[in-house]
Chain A
Amino acid sequence: MPRVKVARKSTFIDMTAMCDVAFLLLTFFILTAKPKVDDPTKAEIPFSSKTTPVPEDNLATITVGDIKGKSTIFYSVTGSDVRAETLKAMGAKYNIPFTPEEIQRFSLLEVFGVPITQLKQYLDLRPDERKGFPLAGIQADTTASNELGNWIYLSRQAERGLHDKDLDIAIKGDRHEQYPIINEIIGILGKQKKFKFDLITDLRAAPKK
């Protein structure tokens, strides 16, 4: 009886096509990647049912969150050139000479929440040392010379000078934040004749009418 011969096939799979696809996707993700900005306040944003997309650039965000039981204000502006210009102007206003290296460091800082008097000290730290720095937040009140107001005003000026655009303002608040601090921010913006701004919210499922 003749024995049936089983043909032995190679287990080698051709990976070329798979490799091509993998690298194509990798290229796509690398080019579209925008690293997540670490939000120091971990603000829980409220929900709303009607939303519009927030512009990606040309935006200033005021974040109000809770740090160790205290409402703290953080500020961030998009664009490193705008940030650098803003810091120069702030330094001139408060008579704090920032070195070019500090300005360069600040232009890479996505979000910050320290008073201007501590900012120099904060910038001199290495990024990994900044975690332990007490974040006191930006001072804000309804007087004409409050820090947050100046930050907003000077960054709007910088944006106007560099890109000839008006900076869009967004407020990102924690859900449980008390109203007075929000009212203060709205008041500060109102003083600068900025009456239209965005409240960052999460989309809630559409309600049934």
Chain B
Amino acid sequence: MAELDTSGGGKHKGGKIRSKKASTRVDLTAMVDLAFLLITFFMLTTTLSKKKAMDLTMPDNSVKTSQLPVAATRSMTVLLGSHNKLEWYMGEAGKSAPTVDNYGKDGLRKALIENEKKVEATHAAPDNFMIVLIKPSDKSTYENLVNALDELNITNVQSKAIVKITPMEVADLQKNGIY
């Protein structure tokens, strides 16, 4: 360490008068304390985690593109009701009884996987993928919509759409007590 010899400096008998040499060693403790205090402050106020999001693409409804007729048997409709409940049915509305289900691993996800397998088995390739229509009711929450979209992402359903709910379907949700 750069430190000067601080010994001596006293008056010697008959010797030369030497000036006192002060130590160049500075006490850094207070400075280090301050530096660490500021580090702590900046660490706590910085947002290190970046915001994450889920992509959502809606169809362009302003242009009427040539829409391909789709077999109703390939479509699965998911109605989002209140109290974190949903119901789903295959095919056209009213023809098959809807199943009341919940969100999550044993609810919607299981139904999606099973239905996708069924559709795949009963239709000829390449048109054997399932189409899922999500119809959120006015009583469902934003979380329900995100959860439903998330389950579709997990089960790798490629064709999906968010569609307006019909009064008939609302009546059905009411019948099942989830509206």
Contacts and interface: CB of A to CB of B under 8 A. Distances in A.
Contact of A176 (B28, B46, B59, B141): B141
Interface residues of A, number: 55
Given A174-B142, A176-B143, A178-B138, A53 B50 contact: yes
B153 A49 contact: yes
Classify chain B: how many residues form its interface, as a range.
35 or more
Contact of A54 (B35, B52, B80, B143): B52
Of A14, A36, A51, A64, most buried by chain B (CB within 10 Å of CB) is A51
Interface stretch (A87-95, A100-108, A115-123, A189-197): A189-197
A198 B39 contact: no
Contacts of A50: 54, 150, 153-154
A201 B149 CA distance: 12
Interface string B147-167: 101100110000000100000
A56 B143 contact: no
A185 to B, nearest CB: 10
Contact of A199 (B28, B38, B56): B56
18 contacts: A15-B27, A16-B28, A29-B43, A34-B46, A46-B143, A50-B54, A175-B142, A176-B143, A178-B142, A179-B80, A179-B142, A179-B145, A182-B142, A186-B58, A190-B58, A195-B57, A195-B59, A199-B146
A187 B109 CA distance: 28
Contacts of A36: 45, 47
A22 B35 contact: yes
Contacts of A186: 58, 162
Nearest to B109: A207
A53 B1 contact: no
A198 B57 CA distance: 9
B52 A203 contact: yes
B32 interface: yes
A108 to B, nearest CB: 18
B35 A26 contact: yes
A182 B145 contact: yes
B62 interface: yes
Q: Is the interface of B mostly helix, strand, loop or mixed?
A: mixed
Given A53-B50, A201-B146, A29 B39 contact: yes
A209 B53 CA distance: 22
A52 interface: yes
Nearest to B150: A48
B42 A53 contact: no
B57 A22 contact: no
A146 interface: no
Contact of B54 (A22, A52, A175, A182): A52
Interface string B46-74: 11001111111111111000000000000
Given A179-B80, A199-B53, 7 more contacts: A34-B47, A46-B147, A51-B53, A52-B53, A52-B54, A198-B53, A207-B154
A18 B25 CA distance: 15
Given A15-B32, A179-B136, A201-B54, A173 B42 contact: no
Report the 9 A-B pairs with minimum CB-CB distance, sorted nearest first: A198-B53, A22-B35, A29-B42, A15-B28, A51-B52, A175-B143, A48-B150, A46-B146, A173-B142
A69 interface: no
A166 to B, nearest CB: 15
Given A46-B147, A48-B153, A177 B142 contact: yes
